[in-house]
Chain A
Amino acid sequence: MGLIPALPMVALVSVPAALALPVLVVLSGPEALVQAFALPGYAKAAGIAVISAGLGTVLALVLAVALLSGVAGRSDRWLRLSMPPLLATPHAAMAVGLAFLIAPSGWLIRLLSPWATGLDRPPLFSMVQDPWGLSLAVGLAIKELPFFVLLALSATRRDSLQPAFRAAISLGYDRHTAFAKIIAPHLLKALNLPIVIAFIYGISAVDMASVLGPTTPPPLSVLALNQVSDPSAEGWRLGLALSLHLTVLTFAALLILGGLVATMRAVAGRWASNGNRRSLVGTALAAASLVGRGTLVFAVLALLSLLLWAFAQRWRFPAPWPQSWTGLDWVWARGLMSVESLNTLWLALASALIGLLLALAFVLAERQARTVTTRGAMAWSGLAVLPLLIPQMTLIPALLLIDLNGLRLPPWMLALWGHVMFTAAYGYLTLRGPIMALDPRYRQVALALGRPRWQALLLVELPILLRPIMASLAIGLSVSVAAYLSTLTLGQGRIETFTIEAVSAASGGSRRTAAQFALAQAFWALLFFFSALSVPDLLYRRRRGLAAHVA
């Protein structure tokens, strides 16, 4: 087998993403790259980008660890069930919902006005769009939280950890300290790559930043997007240059982050074995667990306000509830069987399946290669997630240019390819942990019993891995459903999906329309989630024990 199974992923995902960088450097040119430094507000924009993405990632991580610590050894059903709706809600929609919740004319103040606040007009102070992007950080944290929790749940449930955790409790450790000392290190290891991805997403994506972020100046990603949207050739080149700056800034910030994590790990290792039964960290985790639950309530409120807006006709300050309602006709007009539905469906199914196969083959090749050398983890992961390392607003035009200069694929194929780059990268992220952690003895026993390799894989290992594989498929599906630029630019306007509608509706500023399309989008993503996640439940009804062996 060797390295061959890794090749399709490298050819279709890594190489084009790697080509995008030199293409961008040539397109923007050395002059624009230098001029970008001189743009007004450049330094502060870069600062806001790092602060909001960094803080958002750390906050999401702390809350995720705390939530998991709160359910360790107990039922986690409510946590498992509350994650998919949050994960399935597009970033942009979540931002609109959050902004509406906490704005001066937002829902929270409406619910309290005028009886408690005495206000009959919105107050002048504002919690959104603060100058350093703190509200943006909170928004990013809320969206990354379910991503971390879902990916880490498997690590906390690992068989080998449970006895140690129970032993620690019986030795008198309080539960949060026991969690921090025994399970958290494994969990953080499993989250290594997701943390990197969340940070990159936070620093480069514009959908949340343009709603919750400040504007004078905006975060660097929004500054770059504004500049890329300049119709003049010079302005456009400057925008490409800015987004290259963003890529460099992202790598620099990640290096610093990596250094910090390594230092912390060394300190934490000594702390974990110091024998103290109670600790400040444990107390902090207990408190953070409460904050985490509060955050979830907050996010659910934001979703609820979106749901109300989808049906509200008139809803002015300080009315606590909509004053008049729209008909139900939009549910059919946004048609569950419309062109948008069909396009969303086939693109999501095809790209998620292809992405899953590419990623699966790639991870299996990596596992085999690394049992030989045990090195090169960074290189393998880097290759697989390369498309996520470059801001989309520049990666996508670069891909289009590559296509125009040689391949000239039909729009549907190019759009599918663009989607696969992202579904495959996310597929790798979600599959790598469980596959690498799978006990090698299952395969060894199968081989020892005389089964050929492909049978050991197909009949023994993959069935055990069914749950993470389906979870990975579900994430791939939701990634495809939410993809905007790769659908519009690579599909060259030929492929209408709900996300295209939702983003153009959001550009019109109508909260109602944005909410309606966000619901349609979330509907499909949720349907995919629950059907993908229920497959293993159905198949393994009589094999509950299997689930305990792996995520």
Chain B
Amino acid sequence: MPSKQFSPIQVAVLGFALSLMSLAPPASAQSADQDWSQTLTAAAGQTVFFNAWGGDERINAYIAWAGDRVKEDHGVTVRHVKLSDTAEAVNRVRLEKQAGKTSKGSIDLLWINGENFAAMKAGELLFGPWAEQVPAFGKVDVVGKPTTVLDFQTPTEGLEAPWGMAQFNVIVDDENAPDFPTDLGALIEWSAVNPGRFTYPQPPNFLGTTFLKQAALALSSHPDALYEPVETADFERVTESLWAFLDALHPNLWQRGRNFPASGPAAQQLLSDGETAATLSFFPLEGPALVTADTLNAATVVKGFDGGSIGNTHFVAIPFNSSASAGAQVFANFLMTPEAQIRKQSLDAWGDATVLNEASLSDAQRAALLDATNGLSVSIGPVLPEPHPSWTDALEAAWTQRYGS
């Protein structure tokens, strides 16, 4: 169980120190090596049940590939349990804890971030800390990519290992909407001219909620308040401009704002069908990858938002009662290696941006990383940090009260 509380800055410094360690191993590294070789020994022959959202065939294929690789290298068998909703797994672990099942749990590794992580951390449902002690963590860019140790403002404290980077963006069908604005304020005018051609997934879907946060940060006269707990802020005043924006926008949304797509993929289907002309995404390379897969129009472009776009990281975590925590660590470690991260960033595989510090890679690895994306950048302008997590529930509840009931 996690006992020590680190501040985000302490964690960042610790992470930075660790990344230096990998360049010049100090004396204590020997015992770390010994620990790791013990983990490897324990892991051999274990079967890891990796519970991860299974809604994207390309991600599933990537996970299968990574599983084959750790089987080859370390004799660890990975089985991907394909979830339709991560919360099902979180609630299963909670039920197991309530019933006193403290070992031989049904989940060994879980793809997670944000709210789910915060809930599991608060419920002491996680194993660890382990993530910062595995060797591949050394190359993670904890300084340049602070969200690799700060998950939606919740310090990870070694309870989850960073897997990939996400940044909010909009995928636009350039043929039908060449003038789609990147300034959210201008979206009202655009929608008035192009009624029915834009929508966003319904909060509390994370993409929809992120759209609310992005708009609140861009439009509010008090954006700083969004980084403090919502209880200390004047909610009405901070969000006044957000509701004015949505009130003006909704009548010109898809289905006049009376219905909203349930999820990101459902919204993507609308773009692919031509019902809408733009959709929201968390992966800057998702748009190009979908064009490569022939799902979207070739004239599709990816845009960030004026003033920066919200960015975060997704992780893997081990439940407290995992029956194969050594195997899970070995697999999580492999997911952070340059080999796995380069392949993950490839447009042919998944197109998910790396968590590694590119400066720590070899020249050949850097070239391979650039090659993987056909030279496309994974960054679309400045990264805005996630607001304080307490705003998530508050914004969702207020949205549902106004538009969802």
Contacts and interface: CB of A to CB of B under 8 A. Distances in A.
B91 A215 contact: no
Contact of B106 (A493, A506, A508): A493
Nearest to A43: B405
Contacts of B101: 404, 408
Interface stretch (A163-171, A256-264, A313-321): A313-321
Interface in B93-151: 94-96, 98-101, 106-107, 115-116, 118-120, 123
A492 B92 contact: yes
Nearest to A215: B259
A489 B259 contact: no
A317 B204 contact: no
7 contacts: A124-B195, A215-B259, A232-B115, A314-B295, A316-B272, A317-B274, A488-B83
A505 to B, nearest CB: 7
B49 interface: yes
A494 B106 contact: yes
A148 interface: no
A41 B259 contact: no
Contacts of B275: 103-105, 122, 317
Contact of B263 (A121, A129, A401, A507): A507
Interface string B132-176: 000000000000000000000000000000000000000000001
A316 B86 CA distance: 31
B55 A401 contact: no
Given A103-B273, A233-B119, A397-B95, A508 B400 contact: no
Interface string B363-387: 0000000000000000000000000
B92 A489 contact: yes
Nearest to A129: B259
Interface residues of A, number: 56
Nearest to A240: B91
Interface in B50-87: 51, 53-57, 81-87
A400 B54 contact: no
B4 interface: no
Given A216-B259, A216-B404, A507 B265 contact: yes
Contacts of A314: 294-295
Interface in A5-48: 40-42, 44
Interface string A70-102: 000000000000000000000000000000000
Nearest to A408: B101
Interface stretch (A188-196, A222-230, A288-296, A348-356): A222-230
B93 to A, nearest CB: 10
A316 B274 contact: yes
Contact of A105 (B49, B204, B268, B274): B274
Interface of B: 49, 51, 53-57, 81-92, 94-96, 98-101, 106-107, 115-116, 118-120, 123, 176, 195-196, 202, 204, 255, 258-260, 262-270, 272-275, 294-295, 297, 397, 400-401, 403-405
A236 B260 contact: no
Nearest to B90: A231
Contacts of A124: 195-196, 255
Contacts of A103: 273, 275
A185 interface: no
Interface string A109-137: 00000000000011010100101000000
A231 B87 contact: yes
B349 to A, nearest CB: 16
A504 interface: yes
Contacts of A404: 95-96, 98-101
Given A129-B255, A129-B259, A405-B99, A507 B84 contact: yes
Contacts of B267: 509
B198 to A, nearest CB: 12
Interface string A508-551: 11110100000000000000000000000000000000000000
A505 B54 contact: yes
B84 A503 contact: yes
B400 A40 contact: yes
A509 B94 contact: no
Nearest to A45: B405
A63 B98 CA distance: 48
B404 A40 contact: yes
B107 A509 contact: no
Nearest to A411: B106
B273 A126 contact: no
B404 A41 contact: yes
A510 B265 contact: yes
A217 interface: yes
A233 B268 contact: no
A17 to B, nearest CB: 18
B92 A500 contact: no
A411 B96 CA distance: 13
A231 B116 contact: yes
Interface string A209-244: 010001111000000001011111100100000000
A214 B204 CA distance: 16
B57 A513 contact: yes
B176 A121 contact: yes
A401 B95 contact: yes
Contact of B55 (A231, A324, A508): A508
B120 A215 contact: no
A351 B66 CA distance: 35
Given A232-B119, A401-B98, A404-B101, A216 B294 contact: no
A503 B82 CA distance: 9
